[in-house]
Structure 1
Amino acid sequence: MIPADWCIPQGVNIAFTDRHGGISKAPYDSLNLGDHVGDSPFAVQQNRQLLAQQLALPAEPQWLTQVHGIDVVDVDVDTRRHADGSFTQQAKQVLAIMTADCLPVLLCDASGKQLAALHAGWRGLCHGVLEAGVAKFTAGSELYAYLGPAIGPNAFEVGAEVRDAFINNAPAAQNCFVAVAGTSGAKYLANLVALAKLRLQAAGVQHIYALEHCTFTLATAYFSYRRESTTGRMASLIWRD
């Protein structure tokens, strides 16, 4: 699933799951990894074990309770897990983000020794979760970003207040919104990937790769909260050998 032309530093591993390969029943079918969405706890645990086996993970992922904020925890020294990002400098430490339309962003430095996983829904993205993640890295690091599946630019309709909030932070964000015909400027289609690239570039991230798979339209492949409301969660993971 990782494009062959993506440059990933030696020793770094990344993975994006889809909705296939688990045991959960509808509407969570089948590889639901979220333990907070109403699915059977047994099914979620089995799915997480299947994921660990399939990816040969070196440790249990550092699952977060995500709150659509900008807090990024250093899991090497901080036991808090209510956050929207995690950071590590330890080998075999597996970072994970769960999504079902929001944008997962994985970061590493060129040496492969510093890693982060970030949950970028529109609120977190607008308020600075990506910048908070970048700030965890040693100043001047050459950074790589990998953007996973998220709701696409033809499906993510938002109100004018969302567009205004982004533009207030960065005027160039206006290019990431397209007015919905017939709404007199009240509704816009937002491009989460473009918004994330804009913020990452401004934060000094030199290398950015995006999967650009739309979770909303690719119904057989991905969970989508906006499409189904009651649904499962995918995971995006990063770790180093």
Structure 2
Amino acid sequence: MRPDWDLPAGVGALLTTRIGGGSSGAYAHFNLGDHVGDDPAAVAANRARLRRFLRADPLWLEQVHGADVVDAERCTGVPRADAAIARSPARACVVLTADCLPVLFCDDDARVVAAAHAGWRGLAAGVLENTVREMGVAPERVRAWIGPAIGPQAFEVGDEVRAAFVAADPLAASAFAARELPGKWLADLFALARLRLRRAGVMRVSGGGVCTVSAPERFYSYRRDGVTGRFASLVWLEKP
């Protein structure tokens, strides 16, 4: 499906769901993660099906909940990183998620795109800010889209998570709601991402608000299911 994002001419984007693939059991049906225990042949077939909808090969990442950003056109193999940028149609940027935030980026002139995987650790470590910086364009010319992730009514965290964000930005306190049990909070990843992007100078942010946990028919959720697949968020350039 196409993200609800105002894209400039020359940029393409895609969000997959769990519908339409060949995986079974806990991974049913369109699992694209090759590291979650699914049948490798089923994952390969799902990825091949996805490739038919793309202009170029996607750069798959070994995501580690960090803040490193790689250049998709200079990479070989599967780089260990949580974000990628591309400045030509040679590669599509892609991240896999099942509760973490997928965030896609492009610039107004369709000269650079990026995709970032932002779990709370990567978000706190600055993966979004690093991605904006590596794009190499003025932040006010950057557009961002936040995809489906665990919602604010489902993401319970401890004091250490809240402290990590509030220490960097006191305004982040507004993204946490206290639970009855002391030391427990409900965290709003969408709000935290918007705060981080605003601090980085990115003011045009679309998406956000779609909860993976509450949509089992459409999205995988690690917090809900434990053993599960991964869906993809992709962005690419369609012209040199």
What range is the shorter-chain TM-score in? over 0.9
Q: Distance in 1 between matches of 2:2 and 2:92?
A: 17
Runs of 4+, deviation exceeding 4 Å: none
Matches within 5 A, 1:6-21: 6-21=5-20
Across the aligned residues of Structure 1 and Structure 2, the Cα RMSD in angstroms comes to 1.3
Q: Distance in 1 between matches of 2:94 and 2:128?
A: 15
TM score, norm. by length of structure 2 = 0.95
Percent identity among equivalent residues?
48
The count of aligned residue pairs is 236
**Mapped contact 1:24–1:40 kept (Cα < 8 A):** yes
Unpaired runs of 5+ residues, structure 1, are: none
Q: Distance in 2 between matches of 1:76 and 1:221?
A: 31
**Mapped contact 2:21–2:28 kept (Cα < 8 A):** yes
Q: Distance in 1 between matches of 2:143 and 2:210?
A: 19
- Find the counterpart in structure 1 of residue 59 from structure 2: 62
Q: Distance in 2 between matches of 1:107 and 1:92?
A: 17
1:147, CA displacement in angstroms? 0.7
**What residue identity is the alignment partner of 1:153?**
P
Matches within 5 A, 1:25-174: 25-53=24-52, 55=53, 57-79=54-76, 81-141=79-139, 142-174=141-173
1:157, CA displacement in angstroms? 0.4
1:52, CA displacement in angstroms? 1.8
Q: Distance in 2 between matches of 1:25 and 1:32?
A: 9
Bigger shift: residues 72-81 or 40-49: 72-81
Q: Distance in 2 between matches of 1:86 and 1:72?
A: 5
**Mapped contact 2:190–2:208 kept (Cα < 8 A):** no
TM score, norm. by length of structure 1 = 0.94
For the residue of structure 2 that corresponds to 1:97, the secondary structure is: strand
**What residue identity is the alignment partner of 1:205?**
V
Unpaired runs of 5+ residues, structure 2, are: none
Q: Distance in 2 between matches of 1:67 and 1:239?
A: 22
Pick closer, same or farther for the CA change 1:107–1:49 going to 2, 3 Å.
same
Of 230, 233, 237, which aligns to 1:233? 230
**Mapped contact 1:103–1:121 kept (Cα < 8 A):** yes
1:2, CA displacement in angstroms? 3.7
